[in-house]
Structure 1
Amino acid sequence: MNDAEAKKQLLTLKADIQQQENDFQKDNKPLELDQARLGRLSRMDAMQVQQMELEASRRRMLQLSKIEGALQRIQSGDYGFCFICGDKLDGKRLAIDPTVTRCMSCVDS
């Protein structure tokens, strides 16, 4: 995968994640804990769902940060090389996750 293809894939992924996050922010409402309206188990379920949604949002923000880093590496000419040893990253690996920063040798060590 060349840099232009990687950039296109990263920008598409970034747009998808931003749309998901925007939808979450738009639909995210404060949790209603009115004990007269909801039973204890319903409140617990609602709190668990809210926490899972917040964790998903946190992961989306982390992924956006990784995408921004990859886009900056493309811009600077460092994309596709291991941060640690400087070896070229496997193209198949970059095709699966275009945000990787380390080769398999450095990941394993």
Structure 2
Amino acid sequence: MTSSEKEKLKKVIDDQIVVLKEDIKELQELTKPIPLDASIGRISRMDAINNKTINEASLREKKKLLQRLEKAKERADTKDFGICTKCGNEIPYGRLEYMPHTTRCVQCVG
């Protein structure tokens, strides 16, 4: 991988981190407890609880992805960045551009 490709990937990582942090902030607002004294109907309360559960799952996934991206950002300056942790081959640039947090090539994932 060239140094310019590595710099592009660092920018992709930084951009994705910024977007994820905004998404996480929004989801944290959506997952706040539903007050019992809120005057909504029984069906609406059930819908709100269901939506809260879905948003909590999404929040957990986004937090995991944020951690993986932050680790990728730390690895970006090492010589092992872009190298499959299983087989040792270079991970294709296109895969890293799409999933900069990945640590394995396509053959080793499947």
Name the TM-score class by shorter chain.
0.7 to 0.9
Question: How do 1:14-25 and structure 2 match up within 5 A?
Answer: 14-25=17-28
Alignment partner, residue 70 of structure 2: 68
Q: Contact 2:82–2:96 (CA<8 Å) still a contact in 1? A: yes
Conserved in 1, the CA contact under 8 Å of 2:91 and 2:105?
yes
**Shift of residue 27 of structure 1?**
5.5
Identical positions, percent: 31
- Are the equivalent residues in 1 in contact too, given 2:9–2:100 (CA < 8 A)? yes
Listed as ranges, the matches of 1:1-109 within 5 Å are 2-26=5-29, 28-34=31-37, 37-108=39-110
Root mean square deviation of aligned Cα: 2.0
User: How many pairs were matched up?
Assistant: 107
Report the alpha carbon displacement of residue 28 of structure 1 after superposing the two structures with TM: 4.5
Q: CA deviation at 1:26?
A: 4.5
Code of the aligned partner of 2:92: D
TM-score, normalization by structure 2? 0.84
- Distance, in Å, in 2 between the alignment partners of 1:6 and 1:80 is 10
Opposite residue 23 of structure 2, the aligned amino acid is: Q
- Scaled by the length of structure 1, the TM-score of the pair is 0.85
| Alpha-carbon displacement from aligned partner over 1:33-92 (angstroms, at most 9, x marks no partner) | 349x33332221110010111111111101101101211211222111101111000112
